[in-house]
């Protein structure tokens, strides 16, 4: 283990074997090169003892050289197109202009903090700073795995303690009121009838934009009243890309009876048209004119925003339909676990963080009971029976000075109620 020299194939070489990583470097021929090989091996051995990388400093690439290799070998293979596009943009616009000329081993926590400070002073939001840091942190993780650097200097940067959030992070979501949604759906039926099924399906299922545009007829089960979300679609540089939903797995979404009737009528019509024109049935539920899924940017600019203007509603994102779906169901008393399954959230915590504040009267009975039990009543006197009960409670649970807490530690009463 470590660095050793060896005469091989007519020359002196330095061979390194460290923690499963092997490397060989040819030094040269003759006694002079033998001495040089020993010096090189001694330097490498000293660096390994100090926890440094196997590679010489001159062999460690700059961030500009390493970034394309990482993007092509990892991001293009493992990440979704939208993530790939985000990483490429953040590196090109923000990271490489500042850190690109540095070798990976020269990138320190201080340098990364300087970058984030510069971007913050330029007025970028904390969410954007996180997007800048994300590809850099992941890239340096891979550099550490490749033994190019001893550790990742970006680890745990911009990590806040649990419960500590900025005003931006705690900003409430925007939704349509129930009357606004009803007016919106009436307007799309009257003014944009060709797109009424698409807008109504999104509003009544809470599907994400790419999910509803990627819906196929084989995903709709009219008999059992549900549809399966199996894919999300999007266009990148004019190319249609299909991938798994955001959670990484398919899910079932309950189909409202009224929506099932609408989609059944739509299915019957497209099947009849295909038969009359002697063409194969288009698999997409909401295709464009050439039989492919619609482009989300086209949908928003040509349909969604004009629809809001026509309805006299404030300009909102298309994703607002998803938030509205969840919020209105919660306000009608539906449980968060059910909402979580319908929306396809990765965990119930995501649902709680987004919509927990909308539950009406949560724990109202508990605080009323506490006030009733501890209210001041000067006219009443403690009976012997009451005092005896109080003594029994203290005996079981401990008095007010007792340091031990009985029972489980419940950090989130809301999550406890849902369990």
Asked if the model's pLDDT at residue 54 lies above 80, the reply is: no
Asked if the model's pLDDT at residue 362 lies above 80, the reply is: no
The answer to whether position 20 is within a domain reads yes
Q: 299-309: buried (b, 16+ CB within 10 Å) or exposed (e) per residue?
A: beeebbeebbe
Whether 5 and 34 have beta carbons less than 8 Å apart is answered as: yes
Q: What is the pLDDT of residue 410?
A: 40
Q: What is the pLDDT of residue 162?
A: 44
The answer to whether position 353 is within a domain reads no
Asked if the model's pLDDT at residue 33 lies above 90, the reply is: no
Asked if the model's pLDDT at residue 306 lies above 70, the reply is: yes
Residue 138 sits in a domain whose CATH number is 1.10.150.130
Same domain for 238 and 102: no
Last residue of one domain, picked from the residues 304, 333, 362:
333
Same domain for 326 and 182: yes
Q: What is the pLDDT of residue 157?
A: 86
Which of 6-15, 56-65, 311-320, 384-393 has maximum average pLDDT?
Answer: 311-320
The boundaries of the domain holding residue 100 are 63-145
Last residue of one domain, picked from the residues 298, 333, 368:
333
Asked if the model's pLDDT at residue 413 lies above 80, the reply is: no
Whether 152 and 140 have beta carbons less than 8 Å apart is answered as: yes
Asked if the model's pLDDT at residue 406 lies above 50, the reply is: no
The answer to whether position 398 is within a domain reads no
Q: What is the pLDDT of residue 21?
A: 63
Flag the least confident range among 65-69, 70-74, 346-350. 346-350
CA distances from 268 to 194, 253, 271, 283 (A): 16, 22, 5, 13
Share of the chain above pLDDT 90, in %: 50
d(CA 274, CA 268): 10
Same domain for 236 and 134: no
Which of 81, 297, 330, 339 lies closest to 209, judged by CA?
297
Same domain for 85 and 43: no
Output phi, psi for 7, to 5 deg.
-90, 120
Asked if the model's pLDDT at residue 372 lies above 70, the reply is: yes
Who wins on pLDDT, 67 or 371? 67
The answer to whether position 384 is within a domain reads no
Same domain for 85 and 50: no
Asked if the model's pLDDT at residue 419 lies above 90, the reply is: no
- Tens of pLDDT, residue by residue over 152-172, are 999 988 875 444 455 454 456
Flag the least confident range among 7-21, 209-223, 257-271. 7-21
Asked if the model's pLDDT at residue 275 lies above 90, the reply is: yes
Same domain for 125 and 216: no
Same domain for 214 and 125: no
User: What is the pLDDT of the chain when averaged over all its residues?
Assistant: 82
Asked if the model's pLDDT at residue 249 lies above 90, the reply is: no
The answer to whether position 14 is within a domain reads yes
Asked if the model's pLDDT at residue 70 lies above 50, the reply is: yes
11: how many CB neighbours lie within 10 A of its CB?
Answer: 15
Q: What is the pLDDT of residue 141?
A: 92
Same domain for 258 and 200: yes
Q: What's the mean pLDDT in 140-148?
A: 85
Q: What's the mean pLDDT in 295-322?
A: 95
Q: What is the pLDDT of residue 303?
A: 95
The answer to whether position 89 is within a domain reads yes
CA distances from 146 to 19, 21, 302 (A): 12, 9, 48
Same domain for 19 and 131: no
Confidence of residue 135 (pLDDT cuts 50, 70, 90): very high
Last residue of one domain, picked from the residues 300, 318, 333:
333
Q: What is the pLDDT of residue 149?
A: 82
| Prediction pTM value | 0.65
* Joined tokens for residue 207: 């599907």
Same domain for 218 and 119: no
Same domain for 182 and 317: yes
Same domain for 207 and 85: no
Residue 316 sits in a domain whose CATH number is 1.10.443.10
Q: What is the pLDDT of residue 392?
A: 56
The answer to whether position 216 is within a domain reads yes
When divided into structural domains, the chain yields a total of 3
The answer to whether position 39 is within a domain reads yes
């Amino acid at each position: 283990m470590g660095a050793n020299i060896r005469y091989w194939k007519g020359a002196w070489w330095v061979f390194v074997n460290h923690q499963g990583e092997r490397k060989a470097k040819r030094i040269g021929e003759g006694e002079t090169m033998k001495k040089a090989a020993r010096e090189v091996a001694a330097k490498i051995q000293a660096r390994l003892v100090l926890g440094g990388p196997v590679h010489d400093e001159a062999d460690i690439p700059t961030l500009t050289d390493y970034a394309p290799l990482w993007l092509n070998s990892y991001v293009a293979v493992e990440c979704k197109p939208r993530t790939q596009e985000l990483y490429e943009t953040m590196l090109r616009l923000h990271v490489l202009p500042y850190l690109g000329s540095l070798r990976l081993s020269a990138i320190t926590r201080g340098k990364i903090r300087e970058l984030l400070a510069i971007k913050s002073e330029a007025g970028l939001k904390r969410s954007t700073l996180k997007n800048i840091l994300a590809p850099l942190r992941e890239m340096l993780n891979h550099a550490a795995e490749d033994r190019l650097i001893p550790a990742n200097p970006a680890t745990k940067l911009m990590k806040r303690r649990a419960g500590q959030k900025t005003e931006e992070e705690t900003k409430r979501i925007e939704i349509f009121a129930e009357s606004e949604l009803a007016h919106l759906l009436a307007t799309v039926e009257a003014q944009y009838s060709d797109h009424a099924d698409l807008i109504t399906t999104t509003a009544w299922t809470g599907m994400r934009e790419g999910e509803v545009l990627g819906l196929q007829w084989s995903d709709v089960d009219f008999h059992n009243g549900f549809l399966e979300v199996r894919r999300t679609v999007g266009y990148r540089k004019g190319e249609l890309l299909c991938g798994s939903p955001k959670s990484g797995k398919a899910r079932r979404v309950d189909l409202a009876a009224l929506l099932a009737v609408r989609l059944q009528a739509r299915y019957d019509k497209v099947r009849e048209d295909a038969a009359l024109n002697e063409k194969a049935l288009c698999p997409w539920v909401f295709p464009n004119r050439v039989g492919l899924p619609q482009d989300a940017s086209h949908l928003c600019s040509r349909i969604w925003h004009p629809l809001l203007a026509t309805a006299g509603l404030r300009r909102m994102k298309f994703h607002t339909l998803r938030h509205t779906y969840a919020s209105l169901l919660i306000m009608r008393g539906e449980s968060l676990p059910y909402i979580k399954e319908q929306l396809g959230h990765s965990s119930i915590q995501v649902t709680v963080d987004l919509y927990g504040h909308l539950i009406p009267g949560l724990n109202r009975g508990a605080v009323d009971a506490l006030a009733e039990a501890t209210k001041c009543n000067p006219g009443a006197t403690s009976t012997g029976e009451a005092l005896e009960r109080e003594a029994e409670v203290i005996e079981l649970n401990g008095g007010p000075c007792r340091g031990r807490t009985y029972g489980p530690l419940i950090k989130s009463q809301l999550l406890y109620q849902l369990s």
